[in-house]
Amino acid sequence: MKITVNILSALSLLATATPGFGAKPFPRGIIDLPSAIAAKAPIGTIDDHPWLNPNVSGLRIRTGWDNTETADGVYNWVQIDESLALAATCGKFIGLSVGAGITCPPWLMGGVTFTDGETVVDETTLTSLTANFTAADIGRVIISTNFPTGTTIVSVTSSTVARTSEAATKSTITKKPNTFSILARNPGGAAFRVLNPASDGVVVVPWDPVAKAKWKRFIIALAERYDSNPQLQYIGMTGFQKTGECYLASDQADIDFFDASAVAAGYAATDVLPAGLVAWEATVKEIVAQWMTSFPNTPLLITGARPYGGDSQAVGQDAMIDIFSWGVATYPGRFGIMNSQLHATSASGYYLNSWIVDNSLTQPVGIQFLCSGSSENPDNLARLSNSPPWGDDPLLNPYDAVNNSLTLGVSFGCNFIEVYEDDVNNPEFQTMLAAQSAALGLPGPPEAPGNLRIIP
Q: Are residues 71 and 40 in the same domain?
A: yes
Condensed to tens digits (0 to 9), the pLDDT of residues 143-163 reads: 999 999 999 999 999 999 999
Tell whether 251 is covered by a domain. Answer: no
52 pLDDT above the threshold of 90:
yes
**Section 353-367 average pLDDT:** 98
Task: Identify the band that residue 19 occupies on the pLDDT scale cut at 50, 70 and 90.
Answer: very low
Question: In whole angstroms, what is the distance from residue 142 CA to residue 287 CA?
Answer: 28
- Label residue 174 by pLDDT band (50, 70, 90): confident
What's the pLDDT score for residue 322?
A: 98
* Residue partners of 141: CB distance under 8 A and separation at least 6: 150, 151, 152, 182, 183, 184, 192, 194, 202
Query: Are 178 and 226 found together in one domain?
Result: no
Residues 393 and 282 in one domain: yes
Over range 398-427, report the average pLDDT: 98
One domain for residues 85 and 116: no
The mean predicted confidence, pLDDT, of the chain is 93
Query: Does 194 map to a domain?
Result: no
pLDDT at 246 over 80: yes
Residue 442 — very low, low, confident or very high, per pLDDT cuts 50/70/90? low
In a domain, 445, yes or no: yes
* Distance, CA of 93 to CA of 59 (rounded, Å): 7
Would residue 195 count as lying in a domain?
A: no
Residue 33 belongs to domain with CATH number: 3.20.20.80
The last residue of a domain, from among 140, 155, 185: 185
Answer yes or no: is 386 within a domain. Answer: yes
Q: What is the pLDDT of residues 200-224, one digit of tens each?
A: 999 999 999 999 999 999 999 999 9
- For residue 406, tell me if it sits in a domain: yes
227 and 331 share one domain: yes
276 and 171, same structural domain? no
Q: Is the pLDDT of residue 186 over 60?
A: yes
φ, ψ of residue 146 to 5 degrees: the values are: -95, 0
Q: Is residue 411 part of a domain?
A: yes
Other CB atoms within 10 Å distance of the CB of residue 72: 11
Q: What is the mean pLDDT of residues 390-418?
A: 97
Residue-number span of the structural domain to which 400 is assigned: 7-100+204-244+260-304+315-453
Q: Which of 157, 185, 213 is the last residue of a domain?
A: 185
Task: Give the mean pLDDT of 345-350.
Answer: 98
Q: Tell me: do 77 and 128 sit in the same domain.
A: no
Residues 89 and 64 in one domain: yes
Average pLDDT of span 312-326: 98
Secondary structure element (H or E) that encloses residue 278, with its range: helix 275-294
> In this structure, are 289 and 395 located in the same domain?
yes
Based on the domain organization, do 289 and 367 belong to the same domain? yes
Query: Does 441 or 51 have the greater pLDDT score?
Result: 51
Measured N-to-C along each axis, helices 252-264 and 275-294 cross at an angle, to the nearest 10 degrees, of 70
- Is residue 286 domain-shared with residue 178, that is, in the same domain? no
214 and 266 together in one domain: yes
Q: How many domains does the chain have?
A: 2
Q: What is the pTM of this model?
A: 0.91
Q: Which of 320, 339, 359, 362 is nearest to 417 (CA)?
A: 339
- With 90 as the cut, is the pLDDT of residue 3 above it? no
pLDDT band at 378 (very low <50, low <70, confident <90, very high): confident
Q: Is the pLDDT of residue 255 over 50?
A: yes
Q: What is the pLDDT of residue 309?
A: 97
Domain boundary among 185, 215, 233: 185
pLDDT tens-digit map of 70-107: 999 999 999 999 999 999 999 999 999 999 999 999 99
325 within domain boundaries:
yes
